[in-house]
Amino acid sequence: MAMAASLAEQGAELYAKNLKFVEEEIRIHGELRPRMATPNTVRLDLRTMKLREYGKPGGGLGRRLSLKNIACPVYLLAGEADDITAKEQVFAAEKYVGTPNDKIVKQLVPGGHIGLFMGSRALTQAWPAIARWIIRQ
């Protein structure tokens, strides 16, 4: 749980940093320019599965990532009509994480990709259930 708390804290810090950056862009330019990048320089290089720190010589942080290192409980939520991330792709994640099968929950909900995050059914039914599941972990 300490690792999850640490990741949540890091995520909150990045969110605050990005929000501040976006607010400053809008203040200076009167709009959010589509060509701008966020201030985060650490990104996952999907070709090598390594974290890279862009803008620095060498750019590598030297850590290879593997989904098998994820051993915490996992909740896989897929949209029945999602045309961006198909349910088969979402549910296939269970083969790549190190989480025991009895700690993986898979749920298919009506709707598409955006509906998973903003749809009224997802917001009133799926996400409250996920929140309760997280608390139980």
Pairing of strands 104-109, 74-79: parallel
On whether the CB atoms of residues 41 and 17 are closer than 8 A, the answer is no
> What is residue 70's predicted lDDT score, i.e. its pLDDT?
84
On whether the CB atoms of residues 87 and 108 are closer than 8 A, the answer is yes
Q: What is the pLDDT along the chain (137 residues), one digit of tens a residue?
A: 666 666 567 666 766 676 677 677 677 777 655 444 445 555 655 566 566 655 555 544 555 667 888 889 999 999 999 998 899 999 999 998 999 999 999 999 999 999 988 888 888 889 999 999 998 98
Sheet holding 42-45, edge to edge: 42-45, 50-53, 60-64
Residue 55 tokens, joined:
């803008």
Q: Cα-Cα-Cα-Cα dihedral of 87, 90, 117, 31, to 10°?
A: -120
Q: What is the pTM of this model?
A: 0.56
Interatomic CA distance for residues 53 and 60, integer angstroms = 6
> What is residue 30's predicted lDDT score, i.e. its pLDDT?
72
